[in-house]
Amino acid sequence: MTGERRLGGGWAIILAGALLGIATVVVYWFASQGEGAWVTWSEINAVVLAAMGVAAGAAIASSEEIKRWTTWESILTAVLGGVIGILFWLWGLFWELLEFIKAGIPGYGYAVRDLFYGFWFLAAILVPYIVRRPGAALAAEMVGAIVSALLGSQWGLTVLISGLAQGGLAEVVFALRGYKHYDLPTLIAASAGAALGSWIVDYAFWYNTLAVPVVVLMLIARFISAAVLSGWLGKVLSDALAATGALDNTALGRARIQG
């Protein structure tokens, strides 16, 4: 893309971290509303999480690689993240229909239902596979979470915290691979990172009273679901879109043409 203006994406990611901090404060406010509060959280955890979000945003923004994002890549990431955010919201409606699984299998129904959890990591896999830039997993998952929340997700602003954890741990995997390898094993490993992030957040918010065997099985179920519904599915959908020629001006498209 010779001659194309490049965006310095650093401040956008710092803003994402700041938004996380604001969302965390809002979540804590809800948690403080007496016995009927729908979120169980503590002031200390809220403050620490907010600080971590802002620090993570600042750390990523300091990377010179972020500044190499092109305008097209930034727009594409936002658009794809937004579309997937709509799908996240729809998946939330489907998730509510799965309540019968949890009710029908006391305790272990949580783990069975989590076999369908992996779709919520799709943005953190599909978008990085296409644009292949540092920060893509975190940015896409956060955009998806924001759109889902704006559409009226039943979990409200807590999805922003989940988005940060899921996108952030997927980002770690891509970073460990040097942002150079995007084969299926790497995508599945990144989806496993996202699954771990989701499990940590959900355990802290809702599932810390469940028996240890149940929460362990929930994590295993999320790993399996992530491998299929985000790792494998993200690659399949991206490759299908690339085959149409619509992604020729992306890293995936160029790799496909050269390969």
Please report, for the domain that includes residue 164, its CATH number: 1.10.1760
In this structure, is residue 12 part of a structural domain? no
pLDDT tens digits, one per residue of 109-138: 888 889 999 999 999 999 999 999 888 998
Q: Which of the 8 DSSP states describes residue 105?
A: S
Residue 61's closest CA among 69, 73, 70, 71? 69
Residue 171 lies in domain: 70-258
In this structure, is residue 119 part of a structural domain? yes
Q: Which of the 8 DSSP states describes residue 79?
A: H
In this structure, is residue 212 part of a structural domain? yes
Number of C-beta neighbours around residue 94 at 10 A:
10
Share of the chain above pLDDT 70, in %: 71
- The pLDDT score that the predictor gives to residue 39 is 47
In this structure, is residue 39 part of a structural domain? no
Output the average pLDDT for the chain.
Answer: 79
Instruction: Confirm if 191 and 125 have CB atoms less than 8 A apart.
Output: yes
Instruction: Confirm if 126 and 237 have CB atoms less than 8 A apart.
Output: yes
Residue 10's closest CA among 133, 182, 123, 167? 133
In this structure, is residue 34 part of a structural domain? no
Rounded to 10 deg, the angle between the 71-97 and 136-150 helix axes is 50
Name residues whose C-beta falls within 8 Å of residue 166's C-beta, 6 or more positions apart in sequence: 120, 121, 124, 141, 194, 195, 197, 198
- Point out which residues pair with 70 in neighbouring strands: 6
Number of domains in the chain: 1
Q: Determine the Cα–Cα distance for residues 6 and 88; give it in Å rounded to an integer.
A: 30
Identity of the highest mean pLDDT range in 65-69, 118-122, 196-200, 208-212? 118-122
- The pLDDT score that the predictor gives to residue 108 is 77
The three state secondary structure string of 16-75 is HHHHHHHHHHHHHHHHCCCCCCCCCCCHHHHHHHHHHHHHHHHHHHCCHHHHHCEHHHHH
In this structure, is residue 121 part of a structural domain? yes
In this structure, is residue 51 part of a structural domain? no
What is the rounded average pLDDT of the residues 241-258?
89
Q: Which of the 8 DSSP states describes residue 104?
A: H
Asked whether residue 68 carries a pLDDT value surpassing 80, the answer given is: no
Query: In Å, how far are 12, 78, 223 from 101, measured between CA atoms?
Result: 40, 34, 19
Identity of the highest mean pLDDT range in 20-34, 46-60, 154-168, 207-221? 207-221
Q: Which of the 8 DSSP states describes residue 250?
A: S
Residue 16's closest CA among 89, 81, 86, 87? 81
Both tokens of 38, joined, read 């729908």
Residue 170's closest CA among 117, 129, 228? 129
Q: Which amino acid is at 177?
A: R
In this structure, is residue 107 part of a structural domain? yes
